[in-house]
Amino acid sequence: MSEAPLAQALAGKSSPGTRIGSLALLTVLFALWAFVSLPEGGWLLVLAALAFWTSALRLTVLLSALEPQSKAARRGLSVAIPVLFGLTFLFLWEFVVRGLDVPSVLLPPPSAIAATFAASTGLLWADFVQTFLKAVLAGYAIGCGAGFLTALLVDRSPFLKRGLLPIGNLVSALPIVGVAPIMVMWFGFDWPSKAAVVIIMTFFPMLVNTVAGLNASSAMERDLMRTYAASHGQTLTKLRLPAAMPFIFNALKINATLALIGAIVAEFFGTPIVGMGFRISAEIGRMNTAMVWAEITVAALVGSLSYGLIALIERRATFWHPSIRRG
């Protein structure tokens, strides 16, 4: 009686487990074999790509059908599936580009991009320092800080709040990147002009979100603070700012991406001879696409890592929020 569910679970578990295991092994071995031993170019490589793709897809489908009991396994699976999907995509890209002899100007294979990346880490680092560590960080800090402080000021006056909010919402939808040429004209070619673009781009999302967040606490909670005879400052720090945290972090996350975009696009309008945007537009002029892709890889890494960092801080800072508490 007590053995039956166990045996069932074992049978249910082990059978797809071994199937997935053997399929994964086969796929990896096949990919390695095709990668090493098939000749450059030709339809054989494309056929290999197709075979690889079908088996990898089958693997993904099998994996996504799994419903493991333990929390850790489920979390691992939720990372493993997209990673597998991404790797499949990269392999497919590699095989198809090499198989069909796509000129590397058009689309270099990932291996060439990786090689360029490894060969020019010094250059990429210098660009990263110029664009991210100087322009983006300075602009992001000043823009978000100014937006936050302005929101605190605006919050004192309902009249200003009603006047500024619609305008702030409107400005958030405008193509603000367009101020880049003006800022380059005002602040010169070096990073301060890029930081200025970033400040303008990050200011309004922060302003609008913080003002909305400061209104997030309910009337009941505010009444409670009144019965405690709390001052404006106390209500702000003990109730309304904590309640506004999810909104503020939302703005911080939106701004992380916006800031990087602003700095890179601003560099299209003129820079000293260093910076991610400069490198992209210069190397594309020389048709050196592998370098452009390497630079885009850096941008993607920086963008998702800074987003992830802010999300991590958010989990720590707003541990009380239902959306985080549950997990």
Residue 196 CB, nearest approach to another protein (Å)? 13
Rg (CA), the chain: 26
If we measure between CA atoms, which residue out of 139, 141, 61, 47 comes closest to residue 95? 47
If the CB atoms of residues 49 and 258 are measured against another protein, the closer one turns out to be 258
Residue 308 CB, nearest approach to another protein (Å)? 8
The whole-angstrom distance between residue 164's C-alpha and the CA centroid of its chain comes to 30
If we measure between CA atoms, which residue out of 15, 19, 69 comes closest to residue 7? 15
Residue type, 165: L
If the CB atoms of residues 248 and 264 are measured against another protein, the closer one turns out to be 264
- Site residues (vs another protein, CB under 8 A): 57, 60-61, 63-65, 77-78, 81-82, 84-86, 105-107, 159-164, 166-167, 170, 173-175, 177-182, 184-186, 253, 256-257, 260-261, 264-265, 268-270, 276-277, 280-281, 284-285, 287, 289, 292-293, 295-296, 299-300, 303-304, 306-308
Residue 220 CB, nearest approach to another protein (Å)? 23
Residue 68 CB, nearest approach to another protein (Å)? 13
If the CB atoms of residues 99 and 168 are measured against another protein, the closer one turns out to be 168
Residue 209 CB, nearest approach to another protein (Å)? 14
If the CB atoms of residues 225 and 292 are measured against another protein, the closer one turns out to be 292
Residue 11 CB, nearest approach to another protein (Å)? 22
Distance, in Å, from the CA atom of 215 to the CA atom of 239, rounded to the nearest integer, reads 11
If the CB atoms of residues 89 and 228 are measured against another protein, the closer one turns out to be 89
Residue type, 265: V
If the CB atoms of residues 222 and 253 are measured against another protein, the closer one turns out to be 253
Residue 100 CB, nearest approach to another protein (Å)? 14
Kindly report the three-state secondary structure assignment for every residue of the chain: CCHHHHHHHHHHHHHHHHHHHHHHHHHHHHHHHHHHHCCCCCHHHHHHHHHHHHHHHHHHHHHHHCCCCCHHHHHHHHHHHHHHHHHHHHHHHHHHHHHCCCCCCCCCCHHHHHHHHHHCHHHHHHHHHHHHHHHHHHHHHHHHHHHHHHHHHHHCCHHHHHHHHHHHHHHHHCCHHHHHHHHHHHHCCCHHHHHHHHHHHHHHHHHHHHHHHHCCCCHHHHHHHHHCCCCHHHHHHHHHHHHHHHHHHHHHHHHHHHHHHHHHHHHCCCCCCCCHHHHHHHHHHCCCHHHHHHHHHHHHHHHHHHHHHHHHHHHHHCCCCHHHHCC
Residue 5 CB, nearest approach to another protein (Å)? 25
Distance, in Å, from the CA atom of 192 to the CA atom of 178, rounded to the nearest integer, reads 16
If the CB atoms of residues 239 and 276 are measured against another protein, the closer one turns out to be 276
Residue 136 CB, nearest approach to another protein (Å)? 10
If the CB atoms of residues 53 and 268 are measured against another protein, the closer one turns out to be 268
If the CB atoms of residues 238 and 315 are measured against another protein, the closer one turns out to be 315
Residue type, 106: L
